[in-house]
Amino acid sequence: MHYLIDSNILIYACSDEYIFVSEFIYENLPLISIISKIEVLGYHNLKQRDKIILSNIIDILQIEKLSEDIVDKAIELRQKHRLKLGDAIIAATALVNNDVLVTRNIRDFRKIQDLKILDLFTDRKD
């Protein structure tokens, strides 16, 4: 199974409270969308410690760039589901690559038919 992680999962990986998120990332080496890199590293209040952690994580992951297929799917999703641009690109990336989207933000994605979603916070097995 291949995974694509949402931006919020990257952010949780910075917290010692959610060590299972970091473990999931290092065990599965999921993809990330280029938009997630922009979102998390471009955050204006990013602490230096978190920037280092995020940069180290991003450095070991494959970054999925925007292709015409992803752009076309993102446009379709924005029109059909009124998604924010970032969410549309992330969902489109998962759909085009047939990946499972790993996110805690189920609410914004659950209306997208055929999108496979994993919420590490509710679906994980301890």
Q: Whole-angstrom Cα distance, residue 28 to residue 71?
A: 26
- Closest-CA residue to 24 (of 41, 9, 40, 7): 9
Model pLDDT for residues 94-109, shown as the tens digit of each residue:
999 999 999 999 998 9
Per-residue pLDDT 10s for the chain (126 aa) are 799 999 999 999 999 999 999 999 999 999 999 999 999 999 999 999 999 999 999 999 999 999 999 999 999 999 999 999 999 999 999 999 999 999 999 998 999 999 999 999 987 655
Hey, what CATH topology would domain 3-123 get? Rossmann fold (3.40.50)
Tell me the pairing of strands 63-64 and 3-5: unpaired
Kindly report whether the global pTM for this prediction surpasses the value 0.75: yes
Beta partners for residue 63, in sequence order: 32
The helix (H) or strand (E) run that includes residue 94 is helix 85-97
Q: Spell out the domain ranges in the chain.
A: 3-123
